[in-house]
Structures are given as C-alpha cells and as structure tokens.
C-alpha cells in the first residue's frame, strides 16, 4: 500500500536553522529584563526590546483585542525604536483605564530610551480583566531599561506564562540574520491565541514590504498552530529590522532566501508552541493535499488539529481515525467519500473505504512524539497545521490557572 | 448593581412536562429491543420503533454524514412505518459496503413488520470506520421485531453509548401527546454531534409542516447544545406522527400550543444531554441578549459554551470571566467594549469595564450544578446555549473510548 507522501509543502524550501546567534546578537538589537512583581516576585516579568529601525506586526483578530494590541497595530508598519512586554497581566477587558495604561507604558519606555512614545510598541500577556498594577510596571520598565544587556535566554524566559520551555530560533538568509523567540502553549489556535513572538533582523527592509512578508509567513506558521481552539485577546507577532545589514527589497535577488529564512524561523517557533501545548504529550502534524486552494486545505488541516476528540484519541494512543474523518466532515470539507488517509505512517482509508491495519503496529506508531496525519482529496490545495494532543494535564493546568 | 435579567427567551412560553406517559405510551407507537452483541453481549443494542404514520427528521450537517443519515434524509418528510437503531457501530466512513448495509437493515425490518423498505428509517451510533457485523445485526433486528412491547426505559437504555443516564421527556400540547427520548453526551456541539433523538406524537400532521416545525425547534434546542465542539457523522432527530389523535395544521388554534410542547420536550432532552456531558460536573447555560439577530446571538452564546478555556475554568470553580470575553472576541462578536456580563448571578462587567467581586461569594456561586452566564450587548437578538464543563474525567473517557 502506497502511503500518502506526494505532498509538496513549502517546507521543502526550508533554510537550516542555526544556534550561532540569538535575538540580542543581531546588529542593532539589545534587550533588558526586570522583575516588576506583577504576578509573583520570583521571576522577571518585564522585557524591553531595543532595535531602532522599522517594524511590522500582526495582532489578534479577536474583537476583544486587548488595549496593547490596538496600540501596536495602529503604529505598524513604520519606524519603531523599542518594544515593551509584560507577563502576568493581559491588560484586556480593562476598559478606558487599560487604554491609558498602555500609553503610560510607552511613555515610560520613551522617557528612558530617549525616543517618542509612538516609536514604542506594547505587548501584554496574562490574566484578563484585572487592571495593570501601574506602579509596579513603571518600576519594572525603569529597571529593564537600566539593565539593557540581557541574554536571549533571559528575555525568552521573562515572557513565559504556563510554557514549559523557552522557544528560540535563528537563521541566516539573503545575507541577513534573522532571530526570534516566542511564548505560547495554552489558548493556541489559528490566529495565534495568547502567542507572543518577537523577531529581529539586521536587514534594511521598507516597512510595507516587511509587513506583507510577515503577514504571509504568519498565515503559514503561527496561524497554523492549534492547541485548544480559542483565539486570545493579546496575540502579537512583531518583527524589527535594524538596517545594520544588507538593504533588501522585493526585487533583490536575495529576497526569496530572506523570506524562506523568516519562514523557517517562524515555523520552528510555531512547532515549538504546538509541542509545548499545556499538558501535551504529542505534537500532531496534519498535512492535507487537495481541495480548491491552499487556504481551504489549511482550514481543513486546522479543523483536525483543533478537534478535542482527535486530540484525546492521540493522547490515549488510540488509532481511532474515524474521529479525523468526523472532524473534516464537521468542518464542511467536501469529497470525503474519496479520502485517502494515513495516520503515523499507517494507511487507514483509500478512496473513502477503510483499510484493515495491525493494532500492535498502530500502538507502536502512536507512541512516537510526533504524529503525522496525511490526507489526500481531489484538488490543487496544500495545507499544513500543527497541534498538541489533549491530556488530563491540560485540564489540571487550565482549571487552576487564575488562582 | 442590577443584574442582567431582562432577557425574554422563548423559555417564557414553556409547557410543563409530564411523567404520565413515555414514547411507547403514545397511541399507535410501540417498540422492541434486543441484544445483537455488536460491541458487547451484556446489553441491548438494537431498537425498532414502530409508529406508522408520517415522519420528519433532521440529520447531521457533516460532509462525512454516515450512510444511515443519508438514507434517512432521503425519505423524509413522508410516510414512515418504523425506525431501526443500533448502538456500538456508527456505520460511518464505511464506503459502498456501508450503504448496502443500511439498505439491508431497512429490508430486514420491512420483512418482519410487513411494510416497504422505504418506510423504514435507520440510525446508527458508535465507532466510526468499522464495517457493521451484519449477521449479528440481522439477528438483533429479528429479535427486536419479535419482541415488540418494550418499555420506554428499555429503548432509552438500548441506544446509549457513553451516556451516564437515560434521557426522556413528555408533554401534552394542543390536545396531543408528545414524548421523546435521546442519547448523547460526548461529541456534542451545535448541529447535534453524536446525538440521537426520537419523538412521537399522536397528532395527525401533514409531513411538510411537521418537517418545518422540527427544524425550527431543533435550531433552538439540540443545535444549541455544545459539549466539545465536534459535530458527529451520525446525528439524527426523528419525529413520528401516528395520527391517532387530533388533526393539527398550522392554521389550527391548537398549533402554537402543540409547537410549544414540542419545544419543551426537545429543550428538556437537550439540557439533559448537556448535563450528561462526558465527565461533566456542571451544566453551563449562556443567555445572550443583543446583536443583530437571534441567530447571531445564538452563535455567540454557543461560542462561549464551546470554549475549552471557559469549560475548564468552570470545572475548576474559577470565576475567570476574561475567558468568556476572550471566547466572544474569538467568535468575532462586535461591540464588546459595551458588554455587560454576569456569571452565576455575579456582575463582573458593565459597559466593558470590570466590576470588583467578592472571591468567597464567587466560589460559592460556582459550586452550584448549573452555571448561568448572562451577556448583554446592543441589538435586538436573543440567544441561548447549553454546554457542559470540561474535566479530567472527559479526557479519560475519550482517550480510551475505542479500545
């Protein structure tokens, strides 16, 4: 039985990642962190990322977008000096007071760094609906600005909430460096729920081109991750371009390689988020070939990643592939009576009819950390999505999160 | 602080339920059950519901609709003699063989009852992607047909899968009797995932009017239940009208009361499904007043019921109301900066700004079995949805379901 393996993903053009440098090692970039004691006093929870140049950003599509997201999206693409981030409080659903607090955060940073408040982007993550403790935040910002010189690991650590591990990635591309780090593990779904990501490059890129590139890459990476189906109020992905390196435009011969390097970095961070799904024991990769467009294929792949029944079956090591078909059907995917389906390398459906499989082989295949689901349907689209499985650990973490 | 209590739901016109009769006690209706041993040999798993007359049905909107759903939807509304149901195997994703098996089931029933195969509707529930053991099913159908005379509790029990309890309801309305029973606890979401419901009335109702009424009531009851966000391949709700009682048309003075009685029965069954969510410890009722239409309001209410983060917070007894706002935002609900929100009777948001609340009071309020979430936004719509919370028990049940 031939496996479903003819998929032609953009992944074929992946650029190798490097560990030679991190976010703070890109020319023109530096960072500081501090403990403001927003949620607890035993960890840093404020980060200031300094990288004067241009910036682009993608923020949540939620209609309950937090005040910092609204502030940030109104200032990109454009000239940006720094980004301030706090963990422990999302400054979401905080009304007019929350909007004033965002502006104050930008002002504090601007005062300390000697730039304009409109050159400062703001990100927050944490509990919703609680006013920011601004006296603490102010002290944290002051300390972070005074302590510029933090390592990439320091800043990647300071933005975490329920994450188990830090997430960093870097690559060379088009003669430039690109580095990034991210947080996210729960509430992750298409559109980057409670996901924060920070990228920097030494390339000089015109703001509008940088914004378009970031949006395109986000669609295929961070927005293809699903942990639990909710989209957060605070998702933000920012790229800062310092201009210390090569000047790149869409017409540069190096542009495509630069774009691929950015894709590779974002893909790695997105997969790290899926792998770190709260309480997750498996990463689920769904590759779908077929349907009318890449967008339709991605939508279908995400629907599988999002299904709680698929997630729990995989957590239980159970090759209950009917739930994958059920998830595709619930997502209104057409043509399922011709579906070819492989799970963890095991062919289970050909043209919509079940293929007998060996239960012992299936149990062994499902014990691997990464479970690849491959679907083939008529059509020209190609889509990929990543998610985590759903374990009892997820429930424990989320039932107790706020308290 | 005035609570959000001005909601005017159709619930105001509820008809009192009765325990005086059940499905088999409606004139012209009788049923048989048998053990076919499809999944195990220690319980009945085949049901035949005999109620010659007219029938209407609503089946899953999944594009992976199981063969029995396709068979049933092609024969309603119209003259129907009986319904056959099996548990333990969904006959879904079974290809051409599955389609033949449905027809054989209808033929077996027709032979035994002396009607045409096209007067027999078919429902299946259970594992997906496994061929029906037709030799066993045939014997089960024969025994069930020979054993007509089962009680309502017998048939309600025989259709269960992971349900903890049977679900029955009945009411008088418009001079007629209406009785029903249902199964469903996991995979429940808008559009009735893995939900089977069977209604019978002694009224004589013209098929098209019966179909329209059933669809309208389903939208406001079974389709407003969400346990875990997946829509099943096999959902079916059938009403049989025997015509032994009053002749009712849309122009009858009794029609409205008949419709309200049907609504009351379906609402009771839908809420029983939500309460029996796999591993659930709370029932969550979301009432939303506002938005452009009842449909938009229901969509928003369902989004809250479906959110795993809302579900886990309520399971944990945590008044983390920000997750409710997050779920509304993720569902693209507009106007959230003017949201009024009460949870379990506690005002937490007014015009989008948080209201301080007493944590001890909140913990006490969230210890109740039913948690009511009330949302008010600008607009004329009214919507209600029911769901269960999400506990570690849910994960255990679903990780091990197939094996």
Task: Quote the pLDDT of residue A258.
Answer: 96
Q: What is chain B's mean pLDDT, rounded?
A: 88
User: CA-CA distance, B324 to A374, in Å (whole number)?
Assistant: 34
On whether the CB atoms of residues B151 and B55 are closer than 8 A, the answer is: no
Task: Give the mutation candidate from A67, A93, A131, A162 for the B interface (greatest B CB count, under 10 A).
Answer: A93
Say whether B402 and A313 touch across the interface (CB within 8 A): yes
Q: Express as a percent the part of chain A with pLDDT over 90.
A: 68
Query: How many residues comprise chain B?
Result: 403
A345 interfacial to chain B (CB closer than 8 Å)? no
Tell me whether residues B128 and A337 touch, CB distance under 8 A. no
Chain A nearest-CA distance from B278, in A, is 12
Question: Looking at beta carbons, which residues of chain A come within 8 Å of B316?
Answer: 398-400, 403
Q: Would strands A353-354 and A370-379 be described as parallel, antiparallel, or unpaired?
A: unpaired
How far lies A146's CA from each of A111, A118, B144, B149, B353, in Å?
12, 20, 81, 84, 34
Rounded distance between C-alpha atoms, residue A55 and residue A241, angstroms:
6
pLDDT of residue B395: 57
pLDDT of B396: 58
Q: Which residues pair with A176 in a beta bridge?
A: A173
Question: Min CA distance, A36 vs chain B (Å)?
Answer: 23
- The answer to whether B266 and B225 have CB atoms below 8 angstroms apart is no
CA atoms A347, A351, A352, A355: torsion sign: negative
Cβ separation of B128 and A96 shorter than 8 Å?
no
Contacts of A50 (CB under 8 A, 6+ apart): A29, A30, A31, A32, A81, A82, A113, A148
Contact B219, B177 (CB under 8 A): no
B337 touches chain A (CB under 8 A): yes
- Using alpha carbons, select from B63, B6, B65 the residue that is nearest to residue B288: B6
* pLDDT in the model for residue B194: 74
Tell me which residue in B193, B335, B403 faces A318 most closely, judged by beta carbons: B403
User: How many whole angstroms separate alpha carbon B55 and alpha carbon B63?
Assistant: 23
User: Which chain A positions have a beta carbon within 8 Å of B65's beta carbon?
Assistant: 329
Q: Which residues of A touch B162 (CB under 8 A)?
A: none
* Global pTM exceeds 0.95: no
CB A323 within 8 A of CB B232: no
Pairs of residues, one from chain A and one from chain B, whose beta carbons lie less than 8 Å apart: 232
- The secondary element (H helix, E strand) that includes residue B346 is strand B346-350
**B191 contacts A309? CB cut-off 8 A:** no
Q: Tokens 């959902």 label which residue?
A: B235
B332-381 pLDDT, tens digit per residue, is 999 999 999 999 999 999 999 899 999 899 999 998 889 999 999 999 99
Tens digits of per-residue pLDDT, A74-120? Answer: 999 999 999 999 998 999 999 999 999 999 999 999 999 999 999 99
Contact B260, B349 (CB under 8 A): no
Residues 158-187 of A with CB under 8 A from B: 186-187
Q: Could you give the 3-state DSSP secondary structure of residue B374?
A: strand
Q: How far is CA B63 from CA A131, A137, A179, A250, B92, in A?
A: 45, 51, 42, 42, 11
Of B60, B395, B400, Cβ closest to residue A391: B395
Contact A46, A143 (CB under 8 A): yes
DSSP string, B268-313: HHHHHHHHT-TT---EEEEEEEEESSHHHHHHHHHHHHH-HHHHHH
> Is A186 within 8 Å of B309 when comparing Cβ atoms?
yes
**Chain B neighbors of A130, CB-CB under 8 A:** 322, 354
B127 to A63: CB separation less than 8 angstroms, yes or no: no
Give dist(CA B231, CA B332) in Å, integer: 21
CA dihedral sign of residues A318, A323, A328, A331: negative
Total length of chain A: 403
Provide the pLDDT confidence category of residue B310 given band limits of 50, 70 and 90: confident
Choose, from B54, B94, B194, B201, the residue flagged as catalytic.
B194
Over its C-alpha atoms, chain A yields an Rg (Å, rounded) of 21
| List of chain B residues whose C-beta atoms are within 8 Å of the C-beta of residue A363 | none
Q: Kind of pairing, strands B196-201 and B236-241?
A: parallel
Choose among B61, B312, B353: nearest Cβ to A398: B312
A97 to chain B, any CB pair closer than 8 A? The answer is: yes
Partners of B330 on chain A (C-beta within 8 Å) are: 62, 64, 189, 191, 193, 230-232
Average pLDDT of the residues in B220-247: 86
Model ipTM value: 0.78
**Helix, strand or coil for residue A153?**
helix
Phi, psi (rounded to 5 degrees) for A30: -155, 165
Phi/psi of residue A120, each to 5°? -120, 125
Report CA A232 to chain centroid distance, whole Å. Answer: 12
Please write down the HEC assignment for all residues of A26-62: CCCCEEEEECCCCCCCCCCCEEEEEEEEEEEEEECCC
Tokens 């909601």 appear where?
B7
Q: How many CB atoms lie within 10 A of CB A116?
A: 12
Is A131's Cβ below 8 Å from some Cβ in B?
yes
pLDDT, position B11: 57
pLDDT at B273: 86
DSSP H helical ranges for A58-94: 67-73
Instruction: Inspect the interface and report whether the beta carbons of B129 and A349 lie closer than 8 Å.
Output: yes
Choose the closest CB to A308 out of B129, B228, B325. Answer: B228
Distance from CA of B324 to the nearest CA of A (A): 10
Give the model confidence (pLDDT) of A303-338 as tens digits: 998 887 788 788 878 888 988 998 999 899 999 999
d(CA B127, CA B227): 18
At which residue do the structure tokens 């049977």 appear? B166
What DSSP element (H or E) covers A236? strand A236-241
Residues in B 289-328 with any Cβ partner in A closer than 8 A: 306-309, 312-313, 315-316, 318, 320-323, 325-328
Mean of the pLDDT values across residues B175-198?
Answer: 74
Among B93, B337, B354, beta carbon nearest to A354: B93
* Contact assessment for residue B51 and residue B199, using Cβ atoms and an 8 Å cutoff: no
Q: Which residue carries 């004691």 as its tokens?
A: A37
Reported as a single tens digit per residue, the pLDDT across B83-106 is: 999 998 999 999 999 999 999 999
A208 is written with which tokens? 């509008």
Other beta carbons within 10 angstroms of residue B97's beta carbon come to 14
Q: Which of A128, A354, A399 sits opposite B325 (nearest CB)?
A: A128
Would you say A383 and A294 are in contact if contact means Cβ atoms under 8 Å apart? yes
| Per-residue pLDDT tens digits for A181-205 | 999 864 343 333 478 999 999 999 9
Q: Buried b vs exposed e over A55-90: b needs ≥16 C-beta within 10 Å?
A: bbbbbbbbbbbbbbbebbeebbbbebbbbbbbbbbb
| List of chain B residues whose C-beta atoms are within 8 Å of the C-beta of residue A62 | 326, 329-330, 332
pLDDT band at B236 (very low <50, low <70, confident <90, very high): very high
Compare all CA atoms of chain A with the CA of B95 and give the residue at the minimum distance: A353
Q: Which of A227, A293, A309, A220 is nearest to A259 (CA)?
A: A220
Phi, psi of B282 (to 5 degrees): -130, 150
Q: Which of A194, A218, A233, A236 is catalytic?
A: A194
Asked if A194 is an active-site residue, the reply is yes
Tokens coding A230? 């909710």
**Structure token digits, residue B204:** 């004589």
Which residue in the block uniquely carries the two structure tokens 């992607």?
B129
pLDDT band, very low/low/confident/very high, at B189 (cuts 50, 70, 90): very low
Cβ contact B399–A337 (<8 Å): no
- Which residue is listed with tokens 């054993």? B147
| Residues in chain A with pLDDT values less than 70 | 1-13, 162, 185-193, 227-231, 277-280, 391-403
User: Would you state the structure tokens that stand for residue A238, as one six-digit string?
Assistant: 């920012």
Q: Which of B69, B125, B129 to mutate to test the interface with A (most CBs of A within 10 A)?
A: B129
Residue B122 scores a pLDDT above 90 = yes
Phi, psi angles (nearest 5°) of residue A154: -60, -50
Read off the pLDDT of residues B376-398 as tens digits, 9 standing for 90 and up.
999 999 999 998 877 666 555 55
Q: What is the pLDDT of residue A33?
A: 97
Cβ(A235)–Cβ(A275) under 8 Å? no
Residue B40 buriedness (CB in 10 A; 0-12 / 13-18 / 19+): exposed
CB of B36 closer than 8 Å to CB of B45: yes
Question: What pLDDT is recorded for position A237?
Answer: 96
CB A110 within 8 A of CB A117: yes
B215, pLDDT greater than 50? yes
Map residue B243 onto helix, strand or coil.
coil
Tokens of A125: 């993550």
Instruction: Kindly state the helix (H) or strand (E) to which residue A248 belongs, with its residue range.
Output: strand A247-248
Q: What is the pLDDT of residues B15-65, one digit of tens each?
A: 999 999 999 999 999 999 999 999 888 899 999 999 999 999 999 988 999
pLDDT of res. B40: 85
Nearest-CB residue to B329 (from A64, A315, A323): A64
Strand-pairing partners, residue A177, are: A172
Please state, in angstroms and as integers, the Cα–Cα distance from residue A164 to each residue in A157, A159, A397, B379, following that order. 10, 12, 12, 43
- Contact of B62 with chain A, judged by CB distance below 8 Å, is answered with yes
| Residues of chain B contacting residue A228, judged by C-beta atoms under 8 Å apart | 308-309
Confidence at residue B387, expressed as pLDDT on a 0 to 100 scale: 86
């Amino acid at each position: 039985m031939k496996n479903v393996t003819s998929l032609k993903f953009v992944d074929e053009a992946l650029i190798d990642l490097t560990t030679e440098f991190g976010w703070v090692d890109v020319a023109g970039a530096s960072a500081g962190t501090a403990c403001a004691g927003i949620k607890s006093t035993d960890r840093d929870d404020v980060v200031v990322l300094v990288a004067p140049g241009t910036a682009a950003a993608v923020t949540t599509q939620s209609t309950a977008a937090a005040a910092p997201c609204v502030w940030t999206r109104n200032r990109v693409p454009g000239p940006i000096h720094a980004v301030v981030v706090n963990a422990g409080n999302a400054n979401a659903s905080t009304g007019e007071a929350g909007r004033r607090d965002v502006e104050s955060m930008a002002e504090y940073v601007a005062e300390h760094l000697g730039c304009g408040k409109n050159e400062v982007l703001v990100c927050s993550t944490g509990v919703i609906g609680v006013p920011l403790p601004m006296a603490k935040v102010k002290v944290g910002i002051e300390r972070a600005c005074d302590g510029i010189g933090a390592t990439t690991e320091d800043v990647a650590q300071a933005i975490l909430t329920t994450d188990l591990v830090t997430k960093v990635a870097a690559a060379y591309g088009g003669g430039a460096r690109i580095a990034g780090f991210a947080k996210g593990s729960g509430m992750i779904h298409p559109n980057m729920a409670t996901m924060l990501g920070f990228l920097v490059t030494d390339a000089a890129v015109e703001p509008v081109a940088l914004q378009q590139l970031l949006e395109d890459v986000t669609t295929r990476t961070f927005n293809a991750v699903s942990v639990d189906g909710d989209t957060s109020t605070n998702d933000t992905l920012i790229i800062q371009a310092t201009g210390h390196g090569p000047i790149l435009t869409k017409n540069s011969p190096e542009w495509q390689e630069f774009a691929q390097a950015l894709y590779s970095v974002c893909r790695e961070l997105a997969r790290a988020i899926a792998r770190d799904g709260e309480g997750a024991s498996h990463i689920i990769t769904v590759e779908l070939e077929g349907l009318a467009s890449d967008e339709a294929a991605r939508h279908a792949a995400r629907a599988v990643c999002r299904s709680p029944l698929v997630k729990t079956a995989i957590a239980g090591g159970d090759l209950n592939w009917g739930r994958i078909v059920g998830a595709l059907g619930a997502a209104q995917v057409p043509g399922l009576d011709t579906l070819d389906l492989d799970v963890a390398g095991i062919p289970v459906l050909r043209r919509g009819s079940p293929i007998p499989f060996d239960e012992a082989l299936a149990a062994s295949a499902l014990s691997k950390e990464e479970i690849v689901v491959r679907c083939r349907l008529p059509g020209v689209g190609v889509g990929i999505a990543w998610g985590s499985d759903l374990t009892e650990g997820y429930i424990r973490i989320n039932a107790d999160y706020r308290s």
